[in-house]
Amino acid sequence: MRGLLSIMQAHEEIIMKKSGLENIAPALDKYTAGPLADLWKRPDLPLRDRCLVTLAALIAKDQRIGLPSYLVMALENGVTPGEISGMITHLAFYVGWTNALSAIVVTRDVFLRRGVSPDQIPAASPPLLHLDEAAENKRAKSLHQQFGQIAPAMTHYTASVIFRDLWRRPDLSPRDRGLITISALIANGQTAQLPFYLEKARRDGLSDTEAAESVTHLAFYVGWPNALAALSILKQTLKTP
Amino acid sequence: MRGLLSIMQAHEEIIMKKSGLENIAPALDKYTAGPLADLWKRPDLPLRDRCLVTLAALIAKDQRIGLPSYLVMALENGVTPGEISGMITHLAFYVGWTNALSAIVVTRDVFLRRGVSPDQIPAASPPLLHLDEAAENKRAKSLHQQFGQIAPAMTHYTASVIFRDLWRRPDLSPRDRGLITISALIANGQTAQLPFYLEKARRDGLSDTEAAESVTHLAFYVGWPNALAALSILKQTLKTP
Amino acid sequence: MRGLLSIMQAHEEIIMKKSGLENIAPALDKYTAGPLADLWKRPDLPLRDRCLVTLAALIAKDQRIGLPSYLVMALENGVTPGEISGMITHLAFYVGWTNALSAIVVTRDVFLRRGVSPDQIPAASPPLLHLDEAAENKRAKSLHQQFGQIAPAMTHYTASVIFRDLWRRPDLSPRDRGLITISALIANGQTAQLPFYLEKARRDGLSDTEAAESVTHLAFYVGWPNALAALSILKQTLKTP
């Protein structure tokens, strides 16, 4: 299997050899080769999705040290350059513009090294995906009632830029946008908006098993405390708890 | 207008050319030239204040990648070197000493390049601004009641170093201290202390419109989730919601 | 006293000379030589513990800029290379794998420069410390009731890897694991799990005074807002408030 070989090579490169992990912290090396490597092979979340989740977490935390290797791992396991481009653009709005910029700088180098060509990069203004007007109007109305009076610009940008444009871009499926948004929220410990995005992701095709397994995966990349906080929210949003 | 030209040049330098943004993520390039550039021109918050807010967010998040360009933008739009020095000192107490140190290292280079002279840097111990004894005693009493017994050193430092010294330094106006404190709290998702600092900033001359527009500005730099969480708090603190 | 001399030298090196602090922000320089230097001398928390607390905060925040100097300070004040190795391994689970990796890269250089030898590094799989089966079963049962159904892998890893293995490793005492876990939670503003870990640390020998003083120490390194949020939780968990 190309996928698992690539994971092992990436771990080898990222974590073990370069960093001197086996000399400085043999126990962490053991946990990397044991539970962490096992995690990546668990069937409850496809390998490609684990790459998306990990990249979203690293971009959310602005951690550039592992980013090149995980970008390579993503490209070798079914994530396209266009999806990576779309992901960074998407996350700019959820974790801040300068995190996206940091990611762009690293990604440019990886794309150059791998010979990604310009036609693999999504256009600035492609035809947009269908909009569920009813759901969007409901969302807009709710935000308007909350903040329409004190911050009309926020409600305006949220509708016109985020939900009527960004989320409809075809470079990333709505389900994948949900997955990376949830991952970014968990990485930054932002539980307040998780229910909204969990529900939206479910409507867009993310299963409860995939959501729970994403949290389990994130436990290793953003720490147990953020993962446990997310599980509490996830449990509350489940129809059959 | 020098200001807007400088913004465009800074964006050009920071975000577009250097990073390869237009090649890697044309959509993010489009959003940068569109909504983000528009944001900087909105009249509800002066350009100078937008610079303060952005710098505070970057220092709070310890993001050094954009810091040089935004420091230059600040200096070209009415923020003095002394205010930048005062800001970093102030934020040391609100986001941690090592974030301030990171910012100092970057700022030193920018100041050197621009020939900032020693007389533009605020003295270590200047005459302090007037203290509102009544307000400070009220604050001190409240903190003492909460934590005087379990952490007397905290209540001591909070009074003697932060409110009786730092906030009274003349290198930054109390209103600007409020603005950057609020920005740092929002950048780090720390909503618990927002009501206190929003109320204080209001007394020190920050309008509700400026506060709300600061949150809108921050949405782009620290992500929508932190901005929306801040708006909830802001709304609760408004007298006329 | 070797300890205090070393602190002053480290501060000198880290903060004052290298960064140009005295030229860019004389006030911050003053606060560093005043309240911050005083803090390190306060008797309520041993110097060695202050090193652990500071390192945990820097690793939690992924701040590599001060890390080398604080690692040296730790090594010169009673923290062993094995404890540092154990600490990074421990924190991987609490703040994320890539933070630990960042720390490893920096630590490797420090260990090399100081001639740390391989026999000072803890083995991957040493004999483990005694397990309090009753307490662990109670913890496992509680987590299983919460999340056993929606995320069985999380409850599995939490028991088998974290509480039945990691916490029992002899390279760091349970009391010190508690201290660094609490510090990491405070550094990242994660208050939800503080009560559990404060109670556990208390059982493992951390006094309430040491806990409160750790929070006071952290105020300077992770900012006042996170420290005040932690004090609220600490106060609630005290038996005699």
Q: Given a cut of 80, is residue A2 above it in pLDDT? A: no
* Spatial CB neighbours of B71, under 8 Å, sequence gap ≥ 6: B55, B84, B106, B107, B110
Q: What is the pLDDT of residue C6?
A: 53
* Whole-angstrom distance, CA of residue C20 vs CA of residue B165: 23
Q: Look at residue A64 in the predicted model and tell me its pLDDT.
A: 85
Q: Nearest CB to B122: which of C19, C27, C223?
A: C27
The phi and psi torsions of B149 (rounded to 5 degrees) equal: -85, -40
Rounded distance, CA A61 to CA B62, Å? 11
Q: Cβ–Cβ contacts within 10 Å for residue A118, how many?
A: 7
pLDDT tens track for B41-53: 999 999 999 999 9
Chains that touch C (3 or more CB pairs under 8 A): A, B
Per-residue pLDDT band for B65 (boundaries 50, 70, 90) equals: confident
How would residue A238 be classed by pLDDT, with cut points 50, 70 and 90?
confident
Rounded CA-CA distance A195/B102 in Å is 36
Residues of C98-119 as b/e, b for ≥16 C-beta within 10 angstroms? Answer: bbbbbbbbbbbebbeeeebeee
Contact A18, A32 (CB under 8 A): no
- B240 pLDDT band, cuts 50/70/90, is low
Q: Which two tokens stand for residue C38?
A: 């005083």
* CA distance, residue A166 to nearest chain B CA (Å): 9
Alpha-carbon gap: A93 to the closest alpha carbon of chain B (Å)? 5
For residue B112, what is the nearest residue in chain C, using CA coordinates?
A: C24
Cβ B57 vs Cβ B218: under 8 Å: yes
Alpha carbon of A101: minimum distance to chain B alpha carbons (Å): 7
pLDDT at position B238, please? 86
For residue B27, give the nearest of A122, A153, A192 by CB distance: A122
pLDDT of residue C11: 54
B81-95 and B47-60 helices cross at what angle (nearest 10)?
Answer: 40
Structure letter (DSSP) for residue A109: H
Interface size between A and B, measured as CB pairs under 8 A: 144
Tell me what the mean pLDDT of segment C224-239 comes to: 94
DSSP letters for C40-102: HH-TTS-HHHHHHHHHHHHHHTT--SSHHHHHHHHHHTT--HHHHHHHHHHHHHHH-HHHHHH
Q: What is the structure's pLDDT at B62?
A: 96
Q: Tell me how many residue pairs between chain A and chain C have CB atoms under 8 A apart.
A: 143
Map tokens 């040296």 to a residue: C72
Quickly count: other Cβ atoms within 10 Å of residue C21's Cβ.
26
In chain A, % of residues over pLDDT 90 = 88
**pLDDT tens digit sequence for A15-43:** 445 567 889 999 999 999 999 999 999 99
| Residues from chain B contacting residue C228 (CB–CB below 8 Å) | 147, 154, 192-193
Banded pLDDT at A14 (limits 50, 70, 90)? low
Q: Please give the residue of chain B at the shortest CA–CA distance from C63.
A: B98
Chains that touch A (3 or more CB pairs under 8 A): B, C
When pLDDT is cut at 50, 70 and 90, the band that residue A204 belongs to is very high
Distance CA C31, CA C27 (A): 6
pLDDT of residue A20: 77
Which residues are within 8 A (CB) of A136 and not within 5 positions of it... i.e. 6 or more apart? A159, A163, A164
> pTM here?
0.94
What is the spatial distance between Cα A30 and Cα A10, in angstroms, rounded to a whole number?
A: 16
Q: C29-68: per-residue pLDDT in tens?
A: 999 999 999 999 999 999 999 999 999 999 999 998 889 9
Q: Average per-residue pLDDT in chain A?
A: 92
Confidence of residue C2 (pLDDT cuts 50, 70, 90): very low
Q: Which residue of chain C has the CA closest to A42?
A: C153
What confidence category does residue C21 fall into, taking pLDDT thresholds of 50, 70 and 90? confident
Q: Is the dihedral of CA A187, A189, A194, A198 positive or negative?
A: positive
Interface test with C, best of A64, A228, A234, A240 (most C CBs within 10 A): A228
What per-residue confidence (pLDDT) applies to A17?
A: 52
Q: Which residue, among A15, A18, A31, A64, would best test binding to C if mutated, counting the most C CBs under 10 Å from its CB?
A: A31
Q: Which residue of C has its CA nearest to A218?
A: C96
pLDDT of residue B10 exceeding 90 = no
Residue of C nearest to B185 (CA): C225
Taking CB atoms and an 8 Å cutoff, what residues of chain B touch C14?
A: 101
- Is the pLDDT at B111 greater than 60? The verdict is yes
Q: Is A61 close to C188, i.e. CB distance below 8 A?
A: no
Whole-angstrom distance, CA of residue B7 vs CA of residue B217 = 14
Report CB contact under 8 Å: B101, C61. Answer: no
B235, two tokens: 């709304």
Mention every residue, 6+ apart, whose C-beta is less than 8 A from residue A7.
Answer: A37, A40, A47, A73, A77
Sort out which chain A residues have CB atoms less than 8 A from B33's CB and list them.
Answer: none
pLDDT > 90: percent of chain B: 88
What average pLDDT score do residues A46-52 get? 97
- The model's pLDDT over B151-189, given as tens digits with 9 standing for 90+, comes to 999 999 999 999 999 999 999 999 999 999 999 999 999
Residue C232, pLDDT score: 97
- Is the reported ipTM for this assembly greater than 0.95? no
Strand (E) or helix (H) holding C3:
helix C2-11
CA distances from A73 to A54, A140, A180, B169 (A): 10, 38, 17, 51
Distance CA C36, CA A142 (A): 47
List all residues 6 or more positions away from A46 whose beta carbon is below 8 Å from its beta carbon: none
Which of C16, C183, C228, C235 to mutate to probe the B interface, most B CBs <10 Å? C228
Whether B19 shows a pLDDT value over 50: the answer reads yes
- pLDDT number for residue B7: 55
Q: Which residue of B has its CA nearest to A170?
A: B27
Least confident residue range of A225-234, B14-23, C73-82, C182-191: B14-23
Of A101, A162, A188, the CB nearest to B66: A101
pLDDT of B3 over the 60 cut: no
| Per-domain residue ranges of chain C | 132-168
Closest approach of chain A CAs to the CA of B28, in angstroms?
Answer: 5
Q: Do C96 and A221 touch (CB under 8 A)?
A: yes
Using 50, 70 and 90 to split pLDDT, how confident is the model at C10? low
pLDDT at A186: 98
pLDDT tens digits along C58-102? 999 999 888 999 999 999 999 999 999 999 999 999 999 999 999
Q: Report the alpha-carbon distance of residue C219 to residue A61 in Å, rounded.
A: 22
Q: Which residues of chain C neighbour A232 with C-beta distances below 8 Å?
A: 146
Q: Do B216 and A154 touch (CB under 8 A)?
A: yes
Indicate whether C3 pLDDT > 60.
no
